[in-house]
Each structure stands twice: as C-alpha cells, then as structure tokens.
Amino acid sequence: MLGLNGKDFLAWLFVLFLVAAAPILLNPFPEGSAFAQFNAGYPDLMQRFVIFGIFAIGFNILFGLTGYLSFGHAAFLGAGSYAGVWMLKLLTINVIPAIIMSTLVAGLFSLAIGYISLRRSGIYFSILTLAFAQMSFALAASVLTPITGGETGLQTQLGDPRILDAAATGGNIPAPSLFGLEMGHSWKVSVGDWLWTFNAGYYLCAFIMLIAFYIAIRIFRSPFGMMLKAVKSNNQRLGYTGINPRPYTLAAFVISGMYAGLAGGLMVSMDPLAGAERMQWTASGEVVLMTILGGIGTLIGPVLGAGLIKYSENIFSKINDNLLHTWFSFMPDGVENFMVTIVHPFVGKGWHLTLGLMFMLVVIFLPGGLVGGLSGLYKRLFRRGSHAQ
C-alpha cells in the first residue's frame, strides 16, 4: 500500500492512529483529578509534539543514515521561522505560502552551509555546523535586526501590507489561518469528567507530519537511502569504488535542512513569532537528544524521542511544591514533607535533571533507544512464546 512494504505501512498506520487520536490518548485522567497535571492533550503541546517530530525525522535522515552529526540544525529551524513570518506579514495571513517559503529558504541556507561543512567529516564537520549556527544566531540577534527583529523577535503587526489580503485598518491582529479557518480554532468535546480538545492547527501539523514521515520511509528504503547507509558504513571504501559520496551527503544535508525549515514554518503558522533563540546551540542539541532517545536510524524513534522531551519539558516543569503536597497529603506530615523534599529537585525548574536521568538510563540500558528497547522486548517475548509451544 502507498508503495510501502507491509511492515513500513503498518508503522505509518500506527503513527496515523497516534496523531489522529492524540487528543483522547493524551488526556487519560479526568479533569479536576489529582493526576490531571499529567494530561498533555491541549493544543499547544500537541502541536509541539508533531512539529518537533518533523524536525527530528529530518535530522535522522542525515545523522541516522550517513552518521554525520550536525550541531547546527537550529539555524535552519530559525531561518524557516523568519521566512514564514515575513510571508505572513508581506503576502497573506494564509499559512500555506509561509510553510512553503520556510521550507525553500531553509533548503537554500542548508545548501550553502552543507557545501562548506561537508568538506570535512567527523568532529570537524560537527564543529563547523555548530560555528555556522552560532554565527547565524549572532547575526539574527544583533546585526540583522531590521530583518529579524533582534532580541525582541519578529512578529506580525496590524499594519502589515499582506498584499493578497485586505489590509487590516482596525481591530485585532489577524490570526494565521488556512483559507479562513484560524489555526487557534478548537472544538471541545466533554464526555463524563473528561474534556477533549480538537484543534485545527494541530491537525494541519499532524497531516503534514504524516506526509513527512511517509517521505522519510521512502528515502530510507530507496537506492539513495542505501547509498547513504553505505556512506555511514565505510565512507573510505565507498570512495575506493570510484563513487563520490559528497553529492549524496549534500543531498541528505539539504533534505534534512528542509525538514527543519518546515518545522520552523509550522511553528510560526501556529504562533506568528520568530526569535533568535531558535538558532541557539541548545536547540540543535535538543534535536540530537530526541534522535538518540528514540533510536538513531529508526523510522519512528525520532517521533517518540521528540514526544518524550517535549512532554518532560511542558509537564514536569509545571509541577510545583503545592501540587506535590497535594499528592502526598495522605501521609503523615513529617513523611509528606520528606517526600516533597526528595521529589522537588526533579520537577519544576529542575525538570532538566529528570530528563538527564532518563537520557542516561536509555544510553546505558537501551543503546538502541526506545525503539531498540521495545524491539528487543518484543523479540524476547516472541521467542518465549514460540519455545512454550
């Protein structure tokens, strides 16, 4: 089906089910319950899940297939964001041109950076990409302030030209929309004590992520993908056969950069604001963590890794001492205070500590990432079942 083999088609269907049912699956606890804090089925977070999933899928095409570790992919995320906002300001508030332009600008930017960086490999390549990203951040934050808005960022204004729209002369700043349907529009469904929110912007992002995931599968299974795997396996031996690997690695770099630009375009389509902080090295490091946590070189791994990190960032960071006291209120006062003291460093502002521990455990016990661990568990259970028969 769709040109995919049975296993890949089932993986695509699984992702389709997850993104379609996310508003329900991510709200397992009823509203008002003590554990409603762990619900993640609200639009902003769900949008981040799929947008950063796209970012990680694209990064995995480069890192997972070729082995080239880039620490500068945030530059393409930021470039795509700025291009998207300018489309919303100059052309139309409709998000389609913004998404397309973000992808194209990031592709051209990655072509220029990749052409230079891929002259080196290994740690030298990684340092070059990091240097380009930091230079891009510095330019966006200061030198290119008329274009980027500097430290305050670039955003839509009431008086923007928007030559394809009727210029607004009063009222509120128009919200990004898809042919009149605002990206912030939501439908709420209440069933018993559960409240589910179905958001227009989320489903647009989810639809695009499904297409991006499908393209990634086709790349992985194509002759081009096999050539990239050969580059990762033994780049020097490939050169001895008379094949120049640089055009293949450059193509992978550009495709990966376009995925990052697409993610940046979707970010500003949901919230029309672009800032220089999206180009910082920490954003590049985040997508590396997503890929490693999910499973390098796997198809669905980067999506799971992106979801895990964004869930930790948005859920654990909101847990405060008052909520902890509520959870442990059934214990004697001394024990309650002790438990709050123990848990406090791992939540709130200390959520990075929880993420660091998770990353350490995955690297030590699941070197193949979450997908590798689940695959190994499935194989063990399957073997036990076959032996029992």
CATH number for the domain including 178? 1.10.3470
Which two three-digit tokens encode residue 30?
């009823």
Q: Please give the residue that has the higher pLDDT: either 99 or 282.
A: 99
pLDDT in tens, 220-265: 999 999 999 998 888 777 777 888 889 999 999 999 999 999 999 9
Q: Are 288 and 328 contained in the same domain?
A: no
**Is residue 202 a contact partner of residue 46, using CB atoms and an 8 Å limit?**
yes
Q: Are 276 and 381 contained in the same domain?
A: no
Residue 265: predicted pLDDT:
96
Q: Are 285 and 375 contained in the same domain?
A: no
**Is residue 36 a contact partner of residue 245, using CB atoms and an 8 Å limit?**
no
Please name the residue that has the structure tokens 């009431």: 158
Q: Do the domain assignments include residue 349?
A: yes
Q: Are 135 and 174 contained in the same domain?
A: yes
Please give the residue range of the domain that contains residue 110: 6-304
Which runs of E-coded beta strand occur in 186-292? 186-191, 194-199, 273-274
If you ran DSSP here, which 8-state letter would residue 140 be given? I
Residue 256: predicted pLDDT:
96
The span from the CA of 344 to the CA of 342, in Å, is 6
Q: Do the domain assignments include residue 312?
A: no
Residue 114: predicted pLDDT:
95
Torsion region of 269: left, alpha or beta (phi above 0 gives left; psi -120 to 50 gives alpha): alpha
Instruction: State the amino acid at position 110 in one-letter form.
Output: S
Residue 357: how many other CB atoms lie within 10 Å: 11
Residue 386's pLDDT band (boundaries 50, 70, 90)?
Answer: low
The residue out of 304, 338, 370 marking a domain boundary is: 304
- Going by C-alpha positions, the residue among 64, 24, 68 that lies closest to residue 305 is 64
Q: Are 343 and 215 contained in the same domain?
A: no
Q: Are 179 and 42 contained in the same domain?
A: yes
Q: Are 138 and 16 contained in the same domain?
A: yes
Give the least confident one: 17-26, 52-61, 109-118, 375-384: 375-384
Which two three-digit tokens encode residue 217?
């599968």
Q: Please give the residue that has the higher pLDDT: either 381 or 190.
A: 190
If you ran DSSP here, which 8-state letter would residue 273 be given? E
CA angle (8 as vertex; 213, 62 as ends), nearest 5: 45
Q: Are 299 and 358 contained in the same domain?
A: no
Q: Do the domain assignments include residue 267?
A: yes
Q: Do the domain assignments include residue 311?
A: no
Residue 200: predicted pLDDT:
94
Residue 113: predicted pLDDT:
95
Q: Is residue 42 within a helix (H) or strand (E), and if so which, with residue range?
A: none
Residue 36: predicted pLDDT:
81
Residue 35: predicted pLDDT:
78
pLDDT in tens, 305-351: 998 888 888 888 888 888 888 888 888 888 888 898 898 888 888 88
Overall domain count for the chain? 2
Q: Please give the residue that has the higher pLDDT: either 205 or 195.
A: 205
**Is residue 317 a contact partner of residue 345, using CB atoms and an 8 Å limit?**
no
**Is residue 90 a contact partner of residue 303, using CB atoms and an 8 Å limit?**
no
Q: Please give the residue that has the higher pLDDT: either 160 or 252.
A: 252
Q: Do the domain assignments include residue 309?
A: no
**Is residue 160 a contact partner of residue 89, using CB atoms and an 8 Å limit?**
yes
pLDDT in tens, 182-203: 999 999 988 888 889 999 999 9
Q: Are 277 and 350 contained in the same domain?
A: no
Q: Do the domain assignments include residue 223?
A: yes
Q: Do the domain assignments include residue 245?
A: yes
Residue 159's pLDDT band (boundaries 50, 70, 90)?
Answer: confident
Averaged pLDDT, 73-101? 94
- Going by C-alpha positions, the residue among 210, 274, 254 that lies closest to residue 81 is 274
Q: Do the domain assignments include residue 272?
A: yes
**pLDDT value at 388 more than 60:** no
CA 94 to chain centre: 23
The span from the CA of 167 to the CA of 273, in Å, is 19
Q: Are 276 and 174 contained in the same domain?
A: yes
Averaged pLDDT, 43-47? 91
The span from the CA of 251 to the CA of 240, in Å, is 21
**Is residue 92 a contact partner of residue 176, using CB atoms and an 8 Å limit?**
no
Please name the residue that has the structure tokens 């089910």: 17
pLDDT in tens, 30-39: 887 777 888 8
The residue out of 275, 304, 333 marking a domain boundary is: 304
Q: What percent of the chain has pLDDT over 90?
A: 46
Averaged pLDDT, 153-179? 82
The residue out of 256, 271, 304 marking a domain boundary is: 304
- Going by C-alpha positions, the residue among 48, 19, 72, 15 that lies closest to residue 308 is 48
Residue 383: predicted pLDDT:
65
Residue 246: how many other CB atoms lie within 10 Å: 15
**pLDDT value at 135 more than 60:** yes
Buried b (16+ CB within 10 A) or exposed e, 55-90: bbbbbbbbbbbbbbbbbbbbbbbbbbbbbbbbbbbe
**pLDDT value at 288 more than 60:** yes
Which two three-digit tokens encode residue 21?
């049912």
**pLDDT value at 101 more than 90:** yes
Q: Are 372 and 280 contained in the same domain?
A: no
Residue 193: predicted pLDDT:
84
Please name the residue that has the structure tokens 């919303």: 88
Please name the residue that has the structure tokens 């990966």: 256
Q: Please give the residue that has the higher pLDDT: either 118 or 34.
A: 118
Q: Are 10 and 123 contained in the same domain?
A: yes
The span from the CA of 54 to the CA of 180, in Å, is 25
Residue 158: how many other CB atoms lie within 10 Å: 12
